[in-house]
Amino acid sequence: MIYVILPRESFINCVRDNTHILPSVCINNLPAVDTSRIMQGMTQTSNAMTRLLLVRHGETDANVSGTWQGSTDSDLNDRGRAQAAAIANRLQSEARKIDVIYTSPLGRAMETARIISDHVGNPPTLRDPNLAEFHLGDWEGLTYDELRFEKRLWDQFAADPNFAPPGGESAIEFGTRLITSLQTIAQTNTGKTVLVVSHGGAISTALSVMVGQDGSRWQEYQMANCALSELTFTPKPTLVCLNEKSHLDSIGALAEWD
C-alpha cells in the first residue's frame, strides 16, 4: 500500500440499527444550509461516469461505549476488523475495479482502508485530512450524554451553526471541508471508481448536502460501521445505494463479542 499525504485546508444521538450503535454528528434543527456556494463546480464536464464507493470505518471501542472520538485517533476492535474483512471480501467477490483509495488519516479509517486494499489489488491510497470526523476540540473524549446535557452542544449548534467548541470546528466548517474534499476527489478522478473511507458523521453530513441539498437532513443518510454507499456523477451527484450492509449479516450481535 502506498500512502500520499494530502495537505489540509484551512447530539450525538445513539441510533440503534439492529445490533449496531450508530453515533452521528447532530446538525438537526439547524437552518437549511445554502449549498449553492459549496456545490459550485461539483458537476463534471466529461460524459465519463465517476463512481465513489463510500465506506464508514469499522467498529471501535468508543463506538460501543458511546464516547465521541471525533478527530482523536483510535484503532479498530476485533469486531471492527471482522467488519472490514467482510466489506473487503464483498468488493473482491463483486470484482470491483477500484482505481484509487482515499482515506481519513485517523487510525480506524486507515486500518479499514488497508484491509480493503489488500483484497482489491492494492491501488494507490491517499490520506486526506479533510475526510476526518467532526473535530470537537477540548470536548472530544466526552460521552454523548456529557456533550448533550453538560455542554449543551446540540442546543448551541441549533442556535448558531457557526458555533465551535473550544479548540474545535463549527458545523459549517465541517460540512464545507467535506464537500470540498469530495468535490476535489470527483474532479481529480473523472471516469474512475474511487473508494473513500471516512466516518459516520462525515459521510452522513456530506450526503445530506450533496444529495439532499440540506445539511440538516443528515439522519436520512446514516451508515453502519463498514456499510457501503455508492455515489455517481453523471454529471449530477446521484445516490445509487445507501448503507448497504448485507455483507455484515454473518458478523453477529454485539453481545457475542463481549
- Mind listing the pLDDT tens digit of every residue in the chain (258 residues)? 433 444 333 222 222 232 232 333 333 333 344 444 444 445 555 567 899 999 999 999 999 999 999 999 999 999 999 999 999 999 999 999 999 999 999 999 999 999 999 999 999 999 999 999 999 999 999 998 999 999 999 899 888 989 999 999 999 999 999 999 999 999 999 999 999 999 999 999 999 888 887 777 777 899 999 999 999 988 788 999 999 999 999 886 454 555
Amino acid at 112: T
In the block, residue with C-alpha cell 483509495:
101
Name the catalytic one among 20, 57, 135, 247: 57
pLDDT value, residue 27: 35
Q: Taking each helix axis from N to C terminus, what angle separates 171-188 and 200-210, rounded to the nearest 10 degrees?
A: 80
Distance of alpha carbon 110 from alpha carbon 113, whole angstroms: 5
230 flagged as catalytic:
no
| Cell numbers linked to 229 | 454507499
221, 83 Cβ separation under 8 angstroms: no
| pTM exceeds 0.95 for this model | no
Rg of the Cα atoms in the chain: 17
Q: Which domains does the chain have, with CATH numbers?
A: 3-10+32-63+76-134+177-257 (3.40.50.1240)
Number of C-beta neighbours around residue 40 at 10 A: 9
Name the active-site residue from 59, 111, 133, 140: 133
Task: With both helix axes pointing from N to C terminus, report the angle between 107-119 and 78-93 in degrees, rounded to the nearest 10.
Answer: 40
In DSSP terms, 3 is beta-bridged to 125
Scanning the structure block, which residue is given the C-alpha cell 476492535?
Answer: 77
Instruction: Decide if 94 is catalytic.
Output: no
